[in-house]
Structures are given as structure tokens and as C-alpha cells.
Amino acid sequence: MPRAPRKQIEDGKTVQYTTLKVRLYPDEAQAELFENTFGCCRWIWNHMLADQQRFYLETDQHFIPTPAKYKSEAPFLKEVDNQALIQEHNKLSQAFRVFFKDPKTFGAPKFKKKKTDKDSFTACNHVFESGPTIYIIRDGIRMTKAGTVKAKFSRRPRNGWKLKRVTVEKTKTGKYFAYILYEYIVKEPEAVTPTPDTTVGLKYSMGHFYVADSGELADPPHWLKASQERLAKLQKRLSRMEPGSKNYAEAVQKYRLLHEHIANQRRDFIHKESSRIANGWDAVCVRGDDLRDVSKKKILPGNALESGFGMFRECLRYKLARQGKALIVVDRAALTTRTCSACGFVRNDKPHRKGTWVCPKCGAVHDREVNAAKNVKAQGLAQYFSMQEREAA
């Protein structure tokens, strides 16, 4: 899925980015090199951050040393790909840029820990006269220092795609993956003007993932629920075991594998559902709910952050944009639940979260969530056309 915004180029075309996820099967020497690179990236990040903090305290100026400064005192840094170290410097610089721009939203960069932070590194592709530094072959990917690493591709890049960079990551279950970023030129899609009949309103629902204005429910598949039930049983077993034992270590590995399986199942559901909606509708209206705030409300069961609805909205955004369609985000403060979608009457209190309510003005009987989805759609369309009028003026 794309990780970078599209930028404008001439002749009505744009540069678009797509990332392919590839499973890696490194040999023993390559796996050792990856582990050393993970450690060096973590080491260089922590030392650059510590020196930045020290320099700021002494001079009141912001400055981040480059990785080259540390190679004389830490010769092991020369054993790994220099591009991975440079990218750590770039990531730290970017982290400080967004922090200085909006400290309330983005926290200050923190030191990395081996046990809690992801094992990963990124290397950019450079094309020389002798050829590119990173490229793929039929059954592998060729990388600097590591050589050709065996890989399994679920899909292949299309003709004309340019490989920009690759990120290698090791999961908690011991698997290696490569995220290969490609750049390519596409024709700018024509903007699609939505109508009430070709627009859908979606309301986030803890019990059904989302509810559409038509009353359609998007219940997560039964196999996802079954996996979550197995996870709960495994957690109970794990809590009764003695940490450090062989059985405990095996149970922890099973626990991590099941967590990874559930994440893959949820991601599969989100991509399929978002593709179905993006292909079937000209516009989608959603409310800009902050899932962190929703998860803090004790009256709601489950965990909103684990539902994947935030990822679902992001998938909808870029899949609609690729077709010239709009994702319309309604203000989260809008009274979509209390407002009667038939006559516009606004209640003073919130209706029961699972019940129906009768409008005292027009007598319409509403399902709470379906009514909210209808209001999200109506307010989203009004917001869209109001913006179009302001741009045309």
C-alpha cells in the first residue's frame, strides 16, 4: 500500500508510490548481517539523539551529527550497509522536524530499546553506470553487503516502476520481510462528482465495525473472531506457566504467531472491504472520530484502537483518490446521533447506544447507528458541495 503522497508533474500526470511486501529467506550469514545492521541502526540512533540533546543543553542550538562522526570510535559500523545508517540520520531529522512543527501532536524523539522497538533498517537504491545497488530477480532481491537474498513474491512490479528503497524488518516471530517502495507515473484521474445515490455514509460501530446509511452491517468474518477466542485461551494458559521454562518459551512463540495471524486476518478483511466500497461508490462519508477517545469510554465494549477502523479509513482515502473519488470526513463534534435524519430535530440527550428512538417532532423511528450514518452522509455531501462552491468563487 502507498506510504508517500502523490506529487504533481506536467501534462496531467502524477507520480505515485506503491510498496510491495516480500517474505525473505536469508541464509545464516545474511541473517547475521541483518541482526548486526539492526543493532548498528539502534546504536547510531541513540548516540545521535544523545549528542543532539547534549549539544542543545550546552549551546541552545539544534544539531544532529552524521553517522560518519562515529565510525572511528565504533569500527563495527563499517561492517553494515552505510545507507542504513544514513537513513537513521534522515529519520531522526524528520522526527525532530515534525516535533518542532507540532509538539502537541508529535512527541520528541525517544531512545530505542532492543526489547520493545522494531528490528528494521532502510536502504535507498542508487543507479550507477554499473547498475542499481538494489534490484530484484526471479526468486530473490539483490542488496548491498547481503548479496542476493532469497525471497517469495506475492506480486511483481509492473513495467516502468522504479525501485526507490527497501526496508527490511524482522517480526517478533523471527520472520524477515522486505518492504520495497516503487515509483511510477500515472495519468491523473478525472474528478468524480458524487450524488446522493452514489454516495455512502459509514458510522463506526464497536459491535459491527461499521454501519452504512442503508442499514448494511460489516461484521468482521467469523474466522477472525475464532482466532481471537483462541488467543484468549492461550493467554490464560500462559499466565499459569512459569516464566523462563521451555514450555513457557514455546507458548510465547505460539502466542506471537497467533497475534501475527490475527493481524494478517484483520488486514485482509480491511483491504477487501475498502476495495469493495471504493470500487462501488463515487464518494464515502465518514466521521472523523478519534479512536483514542472512543477507546477510553468505558461504556463501550472492546478496544477501538484494535478494531483497525483507522487503517480502514486510510485505505479508503488512497483507494478512492486513485479513482478521482472523495473521502469526505465530517467533524467528529457533529451531532449525528442526536439528530433526526428525517426532519432535522436535535435531541438534548444521547439515545441508548443499542436501541431505537422515536423522533418527538415527526414520529420517525430510528435505529441509533443507521440514523447516525444517514446524518454523516447528509452532512458530508453538504460539506463537499459547500467546498466546491467556495473554490469556484
CB 109 within 8 A of CB 120: no
CB 24 within 8 A of CB 151: yes
Is 90 exceeded by the pLDDT of residue 368? no
**What residue ranges define each of the domains in the chain, with the CATH number in brackets?**
7-187 (no CATH), 196-228+265-392 (3.30.420)
> What is the chain's length?
393
CB 323 within 8 A of CB 339: no
Give dist(CA 197, CA 175) in Å, integer. Answer: 46
pLDDT of residue 1: 47
CB 22 within 8 A of CB 163: no
Provide the pLDDT confidence category of residue 139 given band limits of 50, 70 and 90.
very high
Give dist(CA 63, CA 47) in Å, integer. Answer: 13
Side-chain half-sphere CA neighbours of 58 within 13 A: 7
pLDDT of residue 392: 78
**3-state secondary structure at position 92:** helix
CB 241 within 8 A of CB 248: yes
More confident residue, 93 or 298: 93
**pLDDT per residue as tens digits for the range 221-249:** 777 778 888 888 888 888 888 888 888 88
Among 7, 10, 18, which residue's Cα sits nearest to residue 319? 18
Read off the C-alpha cell for 48. 545521535
More confident residue, 227 or 183: 183
- To the nearest 10 degrees (0 to 180), the angle between helices 246-280 and 309-321 is 40
Provide the pLDDT confidence category of residue 354 given band limits of 50, 70 and 90.
low
The shares of helix, strand and coil residues in the chain, as percent rounded to the nearest 5, are: 40, 25, 35
Q: How many percent of the chain have pLDDT more than 90?
A: 58
Give dist(CA 158, CA 166) in Å, integer. Answer: 17
Alpha carbon separation from 209 to 144, 202, 293 (Å, rounded): 44, 10, 16
CB atoms within 10 A of CB 295: 16
pLDDT of residue 305: 57
The three-state (H, E, C) secondary structure of 225-254, written as one string: HHHHHHHHHHHHHHHHCCCCCHHHHHHHHH
The residues near 166 (Cβ < 8 Å, ≥ 6 apart) are 122, 123, 125, 134, 141, 143, 178, 179, 180, 181
Question: Worst-scoring range by mean pLDDT, 92-96, 97-101, 142-146, 330-334?
Answer: 330-334
Residues 183-203 have a mean pLDDT of 92
Is 70 exceeded by the pLDDT of residue 17? yes
DSSP per-residue letters across 178-234: EEEEEEEEEEPPPPPPP-GGGEEEEEEETTTEEEETTS-B-PPPHHHHHHHHHHHHH
The residues near 78 (Cβ < 8 Å, ≥ 6 apart) are 71
Give dist(CA 213, CA 375) in Å, integer. Answer: 8
* DSSP conformation class of 163: E
